[in-house]
Amino acid sequence: MRVAILVLSVDEAHRLEASLPPAVAQAPVTVVDNASTDATRDVALRHGARVLSLPRRLSYAAAMNRGIAALGQPDAVLLLNADCVLDDGFLAAALPRLAEPGAGAVAPLVLRAAGLRPADRLDVVDAAGMTIDRRRKNALVGHGDPLGRHATPGEVFGADGACALYRREVLAALGPEVLDEDMELWATDADLAWRARAAGWRCAYEPRARAWHVRFYSPTNRPRLPAAHRRLQFRNRLLMILKNERARSLAHDLPHLALYELAALGYALLFERELLGGYVEAARLAPSAWAKRSSSSAAIAFSPRKNA
Which CATH entry fits the domain spanning 3-213: 3.10.520.10, 3.40.50.300, 3.40.1160.10, 3.90.550.10?
3.90.550.10
Residue 304's pLDDT is: 77
DSSP structure string for 169-234: HHHHHH-SS-S-TTT-STTHHHHHHHHHHHTT-EEEEEEEEEEEE--S--TTTGGGS-HHHHHHHH
The Cα 9–Cα 270 span in angstroms is 37
Residue 265 has pLDDT above 50, yes or no: yes
Q: What tens digit of pLDDT does each residue of 80-136 get?
A: 999 999 999 999 999 999 999 999 999 999 999 999 999 999 999 999 999 999 999
CA dihedral of 111, 113, 119, 123, whole degrees rounded to 10: -40
DSSP reduced 3-state for 299: coil
The Cα 37–Cα 9 span in angstroms is 10
DSSP bridge pairs for 3 = 76
Q: What tens digit of pLDDT does each residue of 150-192 get?
A: 999 999 999 999 999 999 999 999 989 999 999 999 899 999 9
pTM (predicted TM-score) = 0.93
Residue 295 has pLDDT above 60, yes or no: yes
Average pLDDT over residues 57-70: 97
Average pLDDT, the chain: 93
